[in-house]
Amino acid sequence: MRIVRYDGGRFGVATEAGIHDLIALIPEWTPATADSAYNLFIERYPLLQVEIEGRLSSPPDRSMTSVRLDAPVAPRQLLAAPRNFTAHQNEMKGHLTMGGGSPADLGFFLKATGCVVGPRDHVELPALPDRRFDYEGEVAFVIGREARSVTPADALQHIFGYTILIDMSMRMTETLREERVMRKSYHSFAPIGPWIVTADEIPDPSALHLRTWINGELRQDATLAELIVDIPALLAQASAVVTLQPGDVYATGTPAGVGPVEPGDAIAVEVSSIGRLELPVSQRAW
């Protein structure tokens, strides 16, 4: 199923016919508790699935064109894998980096959850002349069941679904070497969407095929079979460090083909079995 959030925190299932609103399934939902109630929905989804499927035979509550899609997640934690494709490691060799190799030895890093935006927003670049801002198209998985020190063999059972994330990054310079968390956490530096595809529809995430276009020109093209550390191992490793909660998001790393964008550009990332996330790049007004 395609799980969407829209119009300021409502959520539902999107089908070809439209959106079936599901907030009535979570009694805790109010506009003020929309984020935590959505994560309760993710946690309770296995118990609600039959009820949801029953509702899909009724007419939808909204058309896709009558709503404004929000980011389909409200994560308490936003984790990300550094350099998880060999070809991307190689292209970064000419750049200043944090050192080290892959998630196998580096583990994960964090992005501030406040930089998440939705599929109808813009990537807004801060007015920092002479700095380079790169796109990184990535697949992200969403935790469905609390995970604490799980094994790779059990890891996929803890995944609610998959979505697309653009890990926007400000690069270091010879003299400016801010913390990675800050360089990757400017407002709008984590566009996510357009929806979550539930894990039952993606039994083998290593088969997912990711492509990124800048202004219509293909720049990234890889499958997740090329990940250095695969999704079960990423989840297991992180869950040995910190408890992963329903709704938490983990971006799995970007393939080769990363490069800078400027205001006026358009970034599009498409992943097989998931969909297409496309945003314009603009100059931040503040």
Smallest distance, Å, CB 279 to Mn ion? 16
CA distance 266 to 281: 6
Smallest distance, Å, CB 124 to Mn ion? 18
Amino acid at site 114: G
Give the binding range for Mn ion (CB under 5 A) out of 114-122, 140-148, 250-258, 276-284: 250-258
Q: Which is nearer to Mn ion, 67 or 190 (CB)?
A: 190
Q: Which is nearer to Mn ion, 31 or 101 (CB)?
A: 101
Looking at beta carbons, which residue is closest to Mn ion?
167
Examine residue 278 and tell whether it contacts Mn ion (CB under 5 A).
no
Smallest distance, Å, CB 136 to Mn ion? 4
Fill in the per-residue mask, 130 to 169: x = in contact with Mn ion (CB under 5 A), - = not in contact.
------x------------------------------x--
Smallest distance, Å, CB 231 to Mn ion? 15
Q: Which of 233, 255, 212 is nearest to 155 (CA)?
A: 233
- The Cα-based distances of 216 to 32, 34, 146, 160 in angstroms read 39, 35, 39, 31
Smallest distance, Å, CB 169 to Mn ion? 7
Q: Which is nearer to Mn ion, 212 or 254 (CB)?
A: 254
Give the binding range for Mn ion (CB under 5 A) out of 129-137, 151-159, 236-244, 268-276: 129-137
Give the binding range for Mn ion (CB under 5 A) out of 6-14, 148-156, 200-208, 248-256: 248-256
Q: Which of 254, 269, 271, 279 binds Mn ion (CB under 5 A)?
A: 254
Exposed / middle / buried, residue 147 (Cβ in 10 Å: 0-12, 13-18, 19+): buried
Smallest distance, Å, CB 137 to Mn ion? 9
Q: Which is nearer to Mn ion, 198 or 220 (CB)?
A: 220
Binding site residues, Mn ion, CB under 5 A: 136, 167, 254
